[in-house]
Chains A and B, each alone.
Chain A
Amino acid sequence: MRLFNMPPQIVRLCLVTIGIVGSYLVARAVLTPPSFREYGFFRGDALKDIMALPPQYGGKVSCDECHSDQFTKLNKGGHKRLSCEVCHGPGYAHTQSPDAGMHKPTFTVCSKCHEANPSRPKTHKQIVLKEHYAGGKCMECHVPHSPAEVP
């Protein structure tokens, strides 16, 4: 067997090399997912996998669909920049089906932001709970949806 006048051992070496490189190329074609290198050196479908995860927080706008009275009231007052879900907890399930209940806000949602702490910005309204709190509920004197209002 004399191809291009090459000695037989060189021809065999060439054939073995072609075999090795060829099997590597075939293996790569088979094992690499089709979306690899779609956007870069990673599996493009990984983005879709992460996108498909279900959200837990519905976003403030979605509350306006049914609770527009509270929504409008909130947006007029001192708490206008707060999202409903800061105090009421995650509500994506509730936006999908109203039967899925919401977390009932307790006293802690007030104190977690308004308890005095020297690390907080001085402009933030703070109270020393021991001195301020008379034992009643915050909502006996304050309206969370409109802090300036007196109940």
Chain B
Amino acid sequence: MSAVLPSIATTTDDDPGVEARMLQHYAGSRNWTISLASVVVGLCIWQAVTAFGILSPALLPSISQVFHAGLMVATEGFQGVTLLDDVAISLLRVGGGFLMAVLVGVPLGLWIGTSRFVESVLDPYIQFLRPLPPLGYYTLLIVWFGIGDTSKVVLLFLTGLPIIVVSSAAGVRSVDRDLLLATSSLGLKGFKLFRFVVFPSCLPAILTGMRLALGATFGSLVAAELIAAESGLGWLILTASNYVRTSIVFAGIIVIGVIALVLDHGVVLIGRKLVPWAGKA
């Protein structure tokens, strides 16, 4: 280090590590070893708290109690419904509602993005529905469609729809104008321009919308099952807590968390497969 140079220069320009560290910080991936260690420490604390009897098992069951409760619900079932059935029913409801939201929302969003007229017609409804808490109108859906699966699928559809519509429409509006001009000068127009230029340009935005919508629909589902259901993961938690079976509640929450993680990761993986160029252009 030269004493002649001002200190600012020595801490930035002379240190090749600064840029590398900034890159690591902003663009690098997180350190998985540290994350794993963090989880292990968390579990140890949990284990210690229960082992020393600091909290009663009704408030915080031990890891092994939760594990056995999960195993019990998985094999014997709880109130006549096994864990697998609950998972399957919940996933079917999410799958149905989410799929409908995608099938309707993506074309609708693309249409809104391309046509000012359609946007003007539909935007008030979308903007009203978007910030509306889905559970606010869930009771109405129960009145219309009954307490069964239909009302839940419709709820999830309505939860996911505005999210997907808004992001798809935003995708269309953010298509590079120069790219549109350049490709139109190559003779692309109408459907071909849409198929080769506009739609692929929108894919990253559509996938982001799908990821957000999946998270939101899963959240709505569990909440809806907590309010009114005869099966499903939300129902499992609610019923177990009514009987103060806290270990089953814990097992249910962990299963819900893991499913949410897997679903989210699945969309991210699909995104990487479908839009490998995202963030690189």
A in complex with B: no
